[in-house]
Structure 1
């Protein structure tokens, strides 16, 4: 029996070639390529199960419902987000969904009262999101994200494939606008996050997420009142 060739981290020239090949392709084609080449789960989908997450989850489930999906359970999510995660798991038949949690002992040491988000939100994100994912990523070549150009100025030049240190990040929806997301959800009759009708356009941890007013940046409801726009996973 032939041994499957391991999917390895591409170099800069290979990433440039991938971007040139997939720039005009549908997001589904990007995911199909990954599912065919990273077949041992080297590049899982990391999903927040937030406002737009249902799009990539629907696409990946159509390709392979057993494709690995990772959810970072910070311990600070809205209860509605956790319920939505469970609803989508059942809806799509996701059979390879795993929750990543922060180390309990480190939490006891660095955030014993669970209030670090008030005094140092960057440290809180690092403790509850960045470190747990980095620990998990030791076993993977990279991961799929739901980032898009329109979300922030920081993401305006986002490529579909990008190198981040010794990992590959894949952003299938990079070129999509808010209308593309809404049209896809409507055309597929997908279940929406219950907080979206209440004005939550970008949904993260409950203490640091607020509704977005009409005309505001889509991520303006995250860490409102501060200059922080990223949790640290993509910096």
Structure 2
């Protein structure tokens, strides 16, 4: 089962080379690396080109970028990976084993900051995901390509696309919840403050579950919304 790793990026020049270099062993073992640039102004696409199998360009929007990468992918398994998230070294083998028994899945997550609150945040994220069958993009969602296509891919919405997608995917089957951890950047919490970020995300998720327009929520989160 060939793995295609799809990485949506926008202005990730500071870390994209190191991120892709960490994926080189998986690429050597046959994984396909697809970077989908959403209109970067810092040369991210050019930096990624020597280290990826394909570099695509789309309008901004993580869901749009990931779906474009999935369409272009040649693998039987798809992994959607944020540019600030680090996989365990044997991620390819773990995904292959999981997809022999499951339709889709995700990893547990670790936040790379040292503040004690991060340990609470990551523990709650992992426990909540196991209890609900809902995954976030930080947890590196993976799925069989055929099932991704059957689901119709990511909904083209500017926020909560991961929650919307995993809510549909769990109707097919419960996710494989891998105990192996991906490590995601703490920059979101460090930039805006831990407590403020937690409260904002709770508020946005509650509003989303109550039916709020994802475009309005994306603007509240600080995303630029494109048609």
TM-score normalised by structure 1 residue count: 0.35
More helix by share: 2
Normalized per residue, the structure richer in strand is: 2
Question: Whose Rg is larger?
Answer: 1
TM-score, scaled to structure 2? 0.36
